[in-house]
Chains A and B, each alone.
Chain A
Amino acid sequence: MNPDSSALEHTVGAVLVVGAGIGGMQAALDLANSGFKVYLADSGPAIGGTMAQLDKTFPTNDCAMCIMSPKLVETGRHRNVEIMTLAEIESISGRAGDFRVRLRRQPRFVDTAKCTGCGDCAAACPISRPDEFNAGLSQRKAVYKRYPQAIPNAYAIEKRGEAPCRDACPIGQRAMGYVALVRAGRFADAYRTILEDNPFPAVCGRVCNHRCEEACSRAAAGDGAVSIMRLKRFVSDWAAAHPDALPATGPASNLSPAGANGRVAVVGSGPAGLTCAAGLARLGHRVTVFEALPVAGGMMRVGIPAYRLPYAEVQRDVERVLALGVELRLNARVDDAAALLAPSGDFDAVFVAVGAHAGVRLRIPGHDLPDVLLATDFLRQVSLSDPGAAAGAAAGRPSIESRRVLVLGGGNVAIDAAMTAVRLGARWVGMSCLECRAKMPAHDWELRDAQEEGVALFPARTFKEITQQDGRVTGVYTVGIDFRGFVDGRPDFDELPGTEETIPCDTVIFAIGQRPDLSLLRGPAQSGGAGGNGRPVWHAATLAGALPGLFLGGDAVTGTSFVVDAIAAGHRAARSIAAYLQARGAGPAIWPPALAERTPAPVAVLSADEARAQVVSRSQAARAEPARRPAAERRRDFGEVEAGLSEAQAVEEAQRCLECGICSECLQCQYACRAGAIDHEQREQVVELNVGALILTPGLQTVRGDIRPEFGYGVYPNVVTSLEFERMLSASGPYAGQVQRPSDGAHPRKVAFIQCVGSRDLACGQDYCSSICCMYATKEALIAREHDAHIEPSVFYMDIRAFGKGFERYYQRAGDEQGVRYVRSMVSCVKQAPGSRALRVLYATPDGKSAEETFDMVVLSVGLAPAPGTRELAGRLGVSLNRFGFAESPTYAPAETNVPGIFVAGAFAAPKDIPETVIEASCAAAHASRLLAAARGTLTREPSYPPERDISREPPRVGVFVCHCGINIGGVVKVPEVVEYARGLPNVVYAENNLYTCSQDTQERIRQRIEEHGINRVVVASCTPRTHEPLFQDTIRQAGLNAHLFEMANIREQDSWVHRADPDVATAKARDLVTMAVAKAGRLRPLYSQSLDMDHRALVVGGGLAGLTAALAIAGQGFAVSLVEREDVLGGNLRHIYTALPATSLPLESNDSSRSAPQALLASLVERVSREPRIHVYLGAQVIGVAGYVGQYRTTIRFHDGRTEELGHGVAILATGAQPGTPHEYLYGQHPAVITQRELEERLAGPAQDRLELPGKIVMLQCAGSRDAEHPYCSRICCTQAIKNALALKERNAATQITVLYRDIRTYGFRELAYREARAAGVRFLEYSENDKPRVTPAPDGGLRVAVSLQPDGEQMTLDAGWLVLAAGIQPEPGNAALGQMFKVPLSEDGFFLEAHAKLRPLDFAADGLFLAGLAHSPRFIDETIAQANGAAIRAVTLLSRKQLQSAALIAAVNPRLCAACGICVETCPYSARVIDEEKGYARVLEALCQGCGACVAACPNGASYQRGFEFKQVFSMLEAAIG
């Protein structure tokens, strides 16, 4: 299907692997080790996939993390694997060998290069989220690491986008941020977050028009926005009351220490001016604020009455700005702004923000009477007179006591004027305006307040004249109008005849608008020298004015607006002026510089439905309403009308926030991170990759627990899914490995496992078998009992499908010896007993009886489905899926897809367990490697280092670097003390401390120190060597030192983090650990790995399906293969397989039945092998001797005629197959009607098929050579084989009566569909027991009688059978033992070859260079064998593709003088890396094979063996240092 690489014009030596679970990692490592550049993309923030979540793995009960974490680390540090997290494919173009892939990468908001994984950010984060890794059973923070061992070892921030409240705010106030902190009771932190964007929290907490609340999703949900403004006021009030609790540091963002020292004048001390001043002062500029009035604050101070905004609150905010070092000059009117500018003036820049303080009056008759006032003047005079005074006359304040006041205008200012007049003791106050009541610009609540205080409203009127008598106002003559709005700034209305009315009053206040006084912009400052039109020259984006250095902003240029808009202008001015000053410093005046705008973030808008759904999990409380003074009381003085929220109210109100953005952007993480790794400004990126092939391993998801609602998941707390239970069992899980009921934390005794939830279930569209659930339930039951021996697990199942290698024994032991009870049944429902948490499980047994049992806890064994998003992924790539959404591979081409160059592996192809996933991943890697063989090695990178310094004649000179790790170590361990102490240790010539020893700049520092001080051994005291040793080794190697002249002291994970309460003992321990490391360092020697020659030829033993496939796969990648077959013909067992499952029983969307003919497959393989010049076939030959080791094997084969030949090879694959079983019972061999399934298949499809006469009744008997005392394993294929043959029989003659006697039907995966089809076709399935086997007797008619005892009740039944067909199973090759001895590889208990590791190294032998595939490994199907053979091939190619082999450096060695050649080490070594050199009389280490475990060293009775890097002297020196 894939073109041969030589046919491609251009081949790219890189592969994109999508999905970084165990399969993705395996494929990536296989390819990277075969000479390809690999991009490993995952949609999550870390690699590891589902396996990382598992506690243990079956059937060995290995700790999943223990076996996986070396693979994680290897993947993470492989120089040719580039991990791309949070990435998804957007589109693809090109063709096999040369694809272009666009990858969309979501922002992580954490710089992985800087993040040290310390977790300080998470400790500071106020947002909690359900922890997916713990299946939602615990909480994590919005900034999180998926799991402790995650690679990359870096945090990520989960953000849906910018919260709508922040988006709506002109200054981007992080409203959700401080709301979240209020909820957490962290008011000081909240204050800091507010100040980040807003220098006026006291003001904006009171008088903001809070557009945030209009945008609030809680408002969309229909129960009132979060009271964001009032929360701000609460925080501000709290801060005022707790000055000592506030953090000393100000906002962190915008801080730039770039030596800014400009001189800036700000004219006007309103919000725009002071915000600008604060921003510039923070950058280091010197700022002087000129204010014409005697008070600072502008309109905030003299425009807004004190009952709304007390003067003290304004002053509080103003003083915080001044505290930044801003100089304020009061009573300092500026008449000529340009005069301030250098060179004539003192300033490099001037910001004019004088506001709009001049009132406007209508030119109607009487407008100039003495009692006609302007609202701005009126309010200013009041506010300047005597801030504290209540009603009553005060100096400079207009006296309107007992007067009748009519305010003309309908906006906020008019209201302020009216209500101020009320407080000053006016006898009557009214308001009149153009707009009708409903359209008045003042807020409705303001109008209601005013009316409550007795203000009369006269809306929808135009004012014609202010009437007078003797120069004193008597009223305003008005006419009612139909007001339509403003057109070009002019009111548009019709007067309504007959509505004329004079409103009597003696004082009139105009509140119809304000304008600025810009007389300070004269001449060139106003017009830019080009002749102006009366309006100032002004650039809206940069706020630049007409002269270089002159800037304008706020109400003065935009017209009256809200405080928050003025603050926004102040921010803009500060940025603009800073940019101007910087540009000016860099050279000639460049103006105006473009401002770098912040890249907008997507807004996290919740729909009304989403919002309502969110409300469910939040506080249900209504919006908090603060206390307000009653109208009668408040109208008497200027005291604040509205009280603040109480602390309890504030916290409760904050709990109403729906957290639209997830991350609240409160910046607490940024403050906490000493490494500077947090970057909230990261944005989505699209990267384009050029790769030759893709491998898709996106993995799986478990089906939802409520897929069968009758089991009560989500309703009853003690019904959990198997994944949840897995996390409960995990020592690192939510309950620290305690088995607990979620409802009450009690330890359950009776636990029920319900199998096939979302599997084998047509009703919920999941009619396939999920393959792994029987085994994982067994595992979970066993582990639960391991944790707590009182637990009584019961597994409710239909068939136990223990079909894999070692599974049957595992299952048998669980049931027979380890207390797991298995109940064959169909569960109908689970009910919680009323008034208790006990769960009643109702089920039916196979004999139709109903039963019921009560449990403490129920675990649903949920099935597997393709991971979310895979359907879309496949759609974008054009990859066909089957009807369940799994990737569709041709039957005999596992890992291939319909798209050349795109391969699949793992649970995306079908539900499968870890070893099958690993095998298939290797298979996919083999396909990619073969496709791209021409480009092997073209894109990979080898490290380059300077030559090593010879230190052999130098005394040890140790340099010690002690890490603070921010506060992770330094907050507990007294690092300077440790450094001082280290300086005094023997051999130490230099010691220093670092904030982060792992940071990029410290690496450079270490290199310099090595050079400066002649350091030849380096000790780093920081975190764990498991993650960081390679980094430092690389650093010292770059500095010319051998990488092994390095030692680490783990003073974080094993000291500061575990002894936090006692800095003294932690410091003492750190001293000890450093002493130990220094002691060892003094004895370190350079270590080198050996280069070993590689014979680039492979040997494949066995010419069956596995051998043929493996040989072709290796040869296809350009390496020579010797294929040795014992028989005189190729093909092995495949020669006897004629049929496949009918296409009708496959879930395929595309029909590929043409490719599912086994004999055609065989013919094609044999033909391709014969055409392949790199494969040399040796027929009729057997291996009789093996010498050598990886890279250098010499294997002797002997032909039938006794001739021998020696074959050289670097690697070998053992694919010696297995044998069909030969039954010893059921009259097999004694009665002609008893045959095996294989014989039946031959009759049905073999050469003589046409002459076949079928009997009317056929009985099939399963497990006639499997799962018994003699063969305690399952042969895996027999159930499917029987069903295949039964369907073929039915096809020939539908009337044939077929009965299958079985113990469990093990049609796992999609094979389940064939089982269903067979039952539908009328095949009868009856269960028998191994303890009561069927009895077969000859019948008089030449047929047979089969007497069977039916399960579970033992009912006797006798069947007539024309044929009895036995499932004879598969038996290991008897020759395995001899071959195993020659290659020094072990056999399993059952006589199959034993792989290096059942889960993660299923194709490798423990000894390097030897691999296995096919039935020699264990019974399996054709497609599985093909996957294994291809996988074994790429495993071999990872070695064959190397020019030379490198041994490990930390390996064993022998001192020949002490060696007695006793041979104990040879027996001890599990890798056959030890041999006795008979000639020289001592033991040797085969360095290519040694894995460096040190077992031989400990076993050596003479002390002749030692392990490099762990020599006795080195370990003893540490011991001495430790004991002290």
Chain B
Amino acid sequence: MSESVFEPRIVAFLCNWCTYTGADLAGTSRLQYPPNVRIIRLMCSGAVDVSYVLKPLLEGADGVLIGGCHPGDCHYQEGNYKARRRIAILEESLKGMGLDERRVRLRWISASEGALFAETIRRFTDDLRQLGPNPVRTLWTM
């Protein structure tokens, strides 16, 4: 990535059953999307700890994506609802911490929505480009 154009770094936590499978389907379908995302597979979006979101943001990642099953589809019954509550609260706290809550995104993407996954990454990357680098990174490198 060249220095002149800002390329955001995105960390994604994807649930094993829906969104990770959807990301695989994007590949199987050869859908192209920006290379800015690094995926970490978890069993369930409900297992996304607050620290999983905070740590990358504090260490300079430009965005964090959490992907889970659509409401009602959770392999573990209601893990995605737990994720939704947790992220909603977290977004509020982020504002208090001076972090931009737009850098955190929770999306429901099913195993058959490869196209939606690709589109989600495109959008998020574009939005983060608009938003610019995570200021934490700049501060720390100073």
What are the residues of chain B within 8 A of A1510 when measuring CB–CB? 42-43, 47
A1052 touches B38 (CB 8 A): no
**Is A1054 in contact with chain B by the CB < 8 A criterion?**
yes
Q: In the complex, A172→B113 CA distance in Å?
A: 45
Name the residue in A67, A1055, A1507, A1522 with the highest tally of chain B Cβ atoms < 10 Å from its Cβ: A1522
What are the residues of chain B within 8 A of A1523 when measuring CB–CB? 9, 11, 56, 59-61
Q: In the complex, A60→B9 CA distance in Å?
A: 36
B59 touches A66 (CB 8 A): no
1010-1056 of chain A: CB within 8 A of chain B: 1024-1026, 1050, 1052-1055
Given contacts A732-B114, A1518-B40, contact A1498 B48 (CB under 8 A): yes
B113 touches A1058 (CB 8 A): no
**Is A55 in contact with chain B by the CB < 8 A criterion?**
yes
Q: Which residue of chain B is the closest to A1497 with respect to CB atoms?
A: B47
A1516 touches B48 (CB 8 A): no
**Is A86 in contact with chain B by the CB < 8 A criterion?**
no
CB distance from B45 to the nearest CB of A (A): 9
What are the residues of chain B within 8 A of A1406 when measuring CB–CB? 77
112-146 of chain A: CB within 8 A of chain B: 119
- Mark the stretch among A574-582, A980-988, A1410-1418, A1487-1495 that contacts chain B: A1487-1495
What are the residues of chain A within 8 A of B25 when measuring CB–CB? 148-149, 732
B73 touches A1468 (CB 8 A): no
Q: In the complex, A37→B50 CA distance in Å?
A: 46
Of the candidates A1054, A1076, A1499, the one whose C-beta lies within 8 Å of that of B27 is: A1054
What are the residues of chain A within 8 A of B70 when measuring CB–CB? 61, 63
B46 touches A1494 (CB 8 A): yes
What are the residues of chain A within 8 A of B116 when measuring CB–CB? 731
What are the residues of chain B within 8 A of A1494 when measuring CB–CB? 42-44, 46-47, 79
**Is A1519 in contact with chain B by the CB < 8 A criterion?**
yes
Q: Which residue of chain A is the closest to B50 with respect to CB atoms?
A: A1498
**Is A329 in contact with chain B by the CB < 8 A criterion?**
no
Given contacts A148-B25, A1062-B35, A1498-B82, contact A1493 B11 (CB under 8 A): no
CB distance from A145 to the nearest CB of B (A): 9
**Is A716 in contact with chain B by the CB < 8 A criterion?**
no
**Is A1374 in contact with chain B by the CB < 8 A criterion?**
no
**Is A98 in contact with chain B by the CB < 8 A criterion?**
no
Q: In the complex, A1274→B42 CA distance in Å?
A: 40
Of the candidates B40, B78, B114, the one whose C-beta lies within 8 Å of that of A731 is: B114
CB distance from A612 to the nearest CB of B (A): 38
Number of A-B contacts (CB under 8 A): 178
- Mark the stretch among A183-191, A1066-1074, A1196-1204 that contacts chain B: A1066-1074
A148 touches B29 (CB 8 A): yes
What are the residues of chain B within 8 A of A62 when measuring CB–CB? 72-73
* Proximity string of chain A (39-65) to chain B, C-beta cutoff 8 Å, 1 when within and 0 when not: 000000000000000010000111111
Given contacts A63-B110, A1470-B76, A1498-B47, contact A1052 B27 (CB under 8 A): yes
Of the candidates A63, A1065, A1072, A1495, the one whose C-beta lies within 8 Å of that of B111 is: A63
**Is B142 in contact with chain A by the CB < 8 A criterion?**
no
CB distance from A834 to the nearest CB of B (A): 37
Q: In the complex, A1499→B35 CA distance in Å?
A: 32
**Is B124 in contact with chain A by the CB < 8 A criterion?**
no
27-82 of chain B: CB within 8 A of chain A: 27-33, 35, 38-44, 46-52, 55-56, 59-61, 69-70, 72-73, 75-79, 82
Q: In the complex, A1050→B20 CA distance in Å?
A: 11
CB distance from B88 to the nearest CB of A (A): 14
* Proximity string of chain B (76-117) to chain A, C-beta cutoff 8 Å, 1 when within and 0 when not: 111100100010000000000000000000000011111110
Q: Which residue of chain B is the closest to A60 with respect to CB atoms?
A: B72
Given contacts A66-B17, A1523-B11, contact A1512 B39 (CB under 8 A): no
What are the residues of chain B within 8 A of A1495 when measuring CB–CB? 44, 46-47, 76, 79, 82
What are the residues of chain B within 8 A of A1512 when measuring CB–CB? 49, 51
147-172 of chain A: CB within 8 A of chain B: 148-149
**Is A94 in contact with chain B by the CB < 8 A criterion?**
no
CB distance from A143 to the nearest CB of B (A): 16
Of the candidates A119, A1026, A1068, A1468, the one whose C-beta lies within 8 Å of that of B21 is: A1026
CB distance from B63 to the nearest CB of A (A): 11
What are the residues of chain A within 8 A of B115 when measuring CB–CB? 731, 736-737
**Is B125 in contact with chain A by the CB < 8 A criterion?**
no
A1061 touches B32 (CB 8 A): yes
CB distance from B109 to the nearest CB of A (A): 9
B112 touches A1515 (CB 8 A): no
Given contacts A731-B110, A731-B112, A1516-B55, contact A61 B72 (CB under 8 A): yes
A66 touches B21 (CB 8 A): yes
**Is B128 in contact with chain A by the CB < 8 A criterion?**
no
Given contacts A66-B73, A731-B116, contact A1053 B47 (CB under 8 A): no
* Proximity string of chain A (704-737) to chain B, C-beta cutoff 8 Å, 1 when within and 0 when not: 0000000000000000000000000011100011
Q: In the complex, A1026→B33 CA distance in Å?
A: 21
Q: In the complex, A1121→B110 CA distance in Å?
A: 41
What are the residues of chain B within 8 A of A70 when measuring CB–CB? 17, 75
What are the residues of chain B within 8 A of A1520 when measuring CB–CB? 59
B76 touches A1493 (CB 8 A): yes
**Is A1060 in contact with chain B by the CB < 8 A criterion?**
yes
What are the residues of chain A within 8 A of B75 when measuring CB–CB? 66, 70, 1493
A69 touches B27 (CB 8 A): no
1295-1337 of chain A: CB within 8 A of chain B: none
Given contacts A732-B114, A1522-B56, contact A63 B35 (CB under 8 A): no
Q: Which residue of chain B is the closest to A1507 with respect to CB atoms?
A: B47
A1058 touches B33 (CB 8 A): yes
* Proximity string of chain A (1475-1501) to chain B, C-beta cutoff 8 Å, 1 when within and 0 when not: 000000000000000011111011100
Q: Which residue of chain B is the closest to A66 with respect to CB atoms?
A: B111
Q: Which residue of chain B is the closest to A1498 with respect to CB atoms?
A: B49
Q: Which residue of chain A is the closest to B70 with respect to CB atoms?
A: A63
CB distance from A1020 to the nearest CB of B (A): 14
CB distance from A967 to the nearest CB of B (A): 13
Of the candidates B1, B27, B29, B38, the one whose C-beta lies within 8 Å of that of A732 is: B29
Of the candidates B18, B29, B30, B39, the one whose C-beta lies within 8 Å of that of A1050 is: B39
Given contacts A65-B110, A1057-B30, contact A1498 B38 (CB under 8 A): no
Name the residue in B1, B16, B46 with the highest tally of chain A Cβ atoms < 10 Å from its Cβ: B46
1340-1392 of chain A: CB within 8 A of chain B: none
Of the candidates B43, B51, B86, the one whose C-beta lies within 8 Å of that of A1492 is: B43
**Is A1450 in contact with chain B by the CB < 8 A criterion?**
yes
1053-1111 of chain A: CB within 8 A of chain B: 1053-1055, 1057-1062, 1065-1066, 1068-1069, 1072-1073, 1076
* Proximity string of chain A (619-631) to chain B, C-beta cutoff 8 Å, 1 when within and 0 when not: 0000000000000
A1519 touches B11 (CB 8 A): yes
1434-1477 of chain A: CB within 8 A of chain B: 1450, 1468, 1470
A1498 touches B40 (CB 8 A): no
B27 touches A1057 (CB 8 A): yes
What are the residues of chain B within 8 A of A61 when measuring CB–CB? 70, 72
CB distance from A532 to the nearest CB of B (A): 67
Of the candidates A55, A737, A1024, the one whose C-beta lies within 8 Å of that of B24 is: A1024
B47 touches A1493 (CB 8 A): yes
What are the residues of chain A within 8 A of B112 when measuring CB–CB? 55, 63-66, 730-732
User: Beyond the given A69-B21, A1495-B82, could you list 19 further A-B residue pairs with CB under 8 A, ordered by the A residue number?
Assistant: A63-B73, A63-B112, A65-B21, A65-B111, A148-B25, A149-B25, A731-B110, A737-B113, A1053-B27, A1055-B27, A1057-B27, A1470-B77, A1494-B79, A1495-B47, A1499-B82, A1507-B47, A1510-B42, A1515-B42, A1516-B55
Nearest 8 pairs between A and B by C-beta? A1494-B47, A1053-B27, A1493-B76, A1057-B27, A1522-B38, A63-B110, A1495-B46, A66-B111
What are 19 A-B pairs with beta-carbon distances under 8 A?
A61-B72, A63-B70, A63-B111, A65-B21, A65-B112, A149-B111, A731-B116, A1024-B20, A1050-B24, A1050-B39, A1068-B1, A1470-B77, A1495-B82, A1512-B51, A1515-B40, A1515-B49, A1516-B55, A1522-B61, A1523-B9
